[in-house]
Chain A
Amino acid sequence: MADTTETTAPTTTAMRELDPDARPRAVRRPRGILVPLWLGYVFLYLPILVVVIMSFNDSENLFVWRGFSLRWYPELFADEKIMQGLVNTLIVATGATAIATVLGTLLAYGIHHFTRGGLIRAFAIAPAILPDLLLGIGLLTFFSLLSFSLGLQSVILAHAVFATAFVTAIVLARMANLDPSLEEASRDLGAGPVRTFVRITLPQLAPGIVAGALLAFTLSIDEFVIAFFTTAPTQPTLPIVIYSMVRFGVTPEVNALATLLLLVSIVTVIAAQRLTRLTGSDR
């Protein structure tokens, strides 16, 4: 963030010298401009807040507050279904992210350098835009035609499809900001395309790749629809476990689970912020 302020500072100073009135005039904003933003945040966070508060409720009843208690947290960890779902989800997300990060990075590099029309680019980004429902039933049909047995392996492949699209998109965006002269210099000095890619491009792309991988991982953890169609009933991912709980009767454990997942997201988001800043700032 610091560099942003540095880059804007000289222009503002220059402007002030030219016209002392310019700065205050440009910066002045109508009163109440932030009211919709605050209302939006209330809308976004009220439901989450209720769930978090209720995770500390000492009652089986989801709608009655009876006092503070931490009892749902140990019960959550004792719940084998939820824990198995969590393990399954982590396996799927790791596998899908690994595949997608490699494929997406290569695709982005290839698209940036070797394609002129948008065809391959559109094809690579398509899974991010296609309805998850279509991908889900398409893969279900495909796997069942091949008699490929459904389970975590099929969900990993299915998740890798849309995850690849997101990694490609993010790395492509990062590529667009790269200075092509560095690669050209490397080539002019005699490095081959692979060496240039590994030594020059990859390090520059690192923040984009990390961001893409994190996004892929998080999306996979959260993904329900495609997993719903492509897994076996015996190997549900966490979202599928939550779905059946919500459908057939919620216990307050879900609140505790939600709170912990929220905590994980907060940590991940902050870590991602830090990471991209760290890897981005030293060049």
Chain B
Amino acid sequence: MTSTLQREAPVPFLAPGVLFLIVFMAIPVGLLAFYTFFTRGRFGGIVFDFTLDNWAKLFEPLYLGVIMQSIGMALVVTVLALLLGYPMAYGIAGLSPKWRTVALVAIVLPFWTNFLIRTYAWILLLNNAGWVNQWLQGLGLVDEPISMLYTPQAIIVGLLYMYLPLMVLPLYASLQQLDPSLREAATNLGATPWRAFRTVTLPLSIPGALTGCIFVFVPAMSNFVIPELIGGGKTIMVGNLVRDQFFEARDWPFGATLALVLTILLVIVILVQNAVSRRLTEGPRRG
């Protein structure tokens, strides 16, 4: 802590980045917050007449409904990702170091494939004439194609597909960091594998799980491309509303308000997660 380095001026290292982020992040976001209190311009932009209408508008049933629906969808996606991602991460953590690398690369690889192409792939699969329906009919499981594309379920599958790697990676990181000797100690002291998992592995992996949940929930909540392309625009999420306010309704102040509310919600979720993980990691030491 009191190394010689600490006394050096931090300015040359910190200033460029901080300045850049002030100009291109803090000011733009602040500007949006400012815009929420003013009136829309006729063709986008803004007229400087103070108003609270944008905030009042949020509570209209139409918009409130969309917000609640987005939260619901993102929650479902997060829970599914956790249920699928946990055993995956657990499986990877138990592999030999060599196979672990291969397995991790295989998790990351789809994530590094273009996001829109992965979305489009689901159109190929889920379309009425698509591959899933062809397989189902080929196997004689259904006679008529099932409508899968352009349903809320399709959006959930699309979002789950998109963000599953973001759940697996932090979970894997926390599972892999676990000192194997802890579990071995539990087993050697006579615990069954399940009991060792439940009392040793599971509690210690909760911070990783929480991080994974945030990694999935946050982008799922604000995504507007998947609802539009896979959901056919019928099931609108907050992101779609924001986009429409900017490009179609040309109501920038209301679009800004929606985006800000979305962000505030997400920040609250993240703060809660941080507080919970901190209590989890600090708890045993204090007690």
Seen from chain A, the residues whose Cβ lies within 8 Å of a Cβ on chain B are 1, 4-5, 19, 22, 25-26, 28-30, 33-34, 36-37, 39-41, 43-48, 50-51, 54, 62-63, 99, 102-104, 106-107, 109-111, 113-115, 120, 123-124, 126-127, 129-135, 137-142, 144-145, 157-158, 160-161, 164, 168, 180, 183-184, 187-188, 193-194, 196, 218, 221-222, 224-225, 229, 238-239, 242-243, 246-247, 250, 254, 257-258, 261-262, 265-266, 268-270, 273
Q: Which 7 A-B pairs have the closest CB atoms?
A: A110-B13, A114-B10, A138-B28, A47-B121, A36-B87, A37-B91, A107-B17
Query: Are the CB atoms of B32 and A141 closer together than 8 Å?
Result: yes
The verdict on B105 contacting chain A, using a C-beta distance below 8 Å, is yes
User: Which residues of B does A touch, CB under 8 Å?
Assistant: 3-6, 8, 10, 12-14, 16-18, 20-21, 24-29, 31-32, 35, 44-45, 84-85, 87-88, 90-92, 94, 97-98, 101, 103, 105-110, 112-125, 127, 129-131, 134, 161, 164-165, 168, 180, 183-184, 187-188, 193, 218-219, 221-222, 224-225, 228-229, 239, 242-243, 246, 252, 255-256, 259-260, 262-263, 266, 270
- Among the listed A46, A103, A258, which residue makes an inter-chain contact with B16, where contact means beta carbons less than 8 Å apart? A103
Main secondary structure of the interface of B (DSSP, over half): helix
Q: Which of A40, A141, A250 is B88 in contact with, Cβ under 8 Å?
A: A40
Contact B270 A246 (CB under 8 A): no
- Which B residues are CB-close (under 8 A) to A225? 224-225
B193 near A239: Cβ-Cβ < 8 Å: no
Chain B nearest Cβ from A132, distance in angstroms? 7
Q: Are B32 and A266 in contact (CB under 8 A)?
A: no
Are the C-beta atoms of B121 and A142 separated by less than 8 Å? no
The answer to whether residues A129 and B270 also contact, given A40-B84, A193-B8, A265-B112 and a CB cut-off of 8 A, is yes
In the complex, are the beta carbons of B31 and A1 less than 8 A apart? no
A-B contacts, 13 of them at CB < 8 A, read A47-B122, A47-B125, A51-B117, A114-B10, A120-B18, A133-B242, A135-B28, A137-B259, A139-B24, A164-B17, A183-B5, A229-B246, A242-B116
Say how far B26's CB is from chain A's closest CB, in angstroms.
Answer: 8
Query: Which residues of chain B come closer than 8 Å to A5, judged between CB atoms?
Result: 97
Q: How far is the CB of A116 from chain B (nearest CB, A)?
A: 8
A269 x B105 contact (CB < 8 A): yes
Contact indicator A246/B229 (Cβ below 8 Å)? yes
Interface pair A134/B29, CB less than 8 Å apart: yes
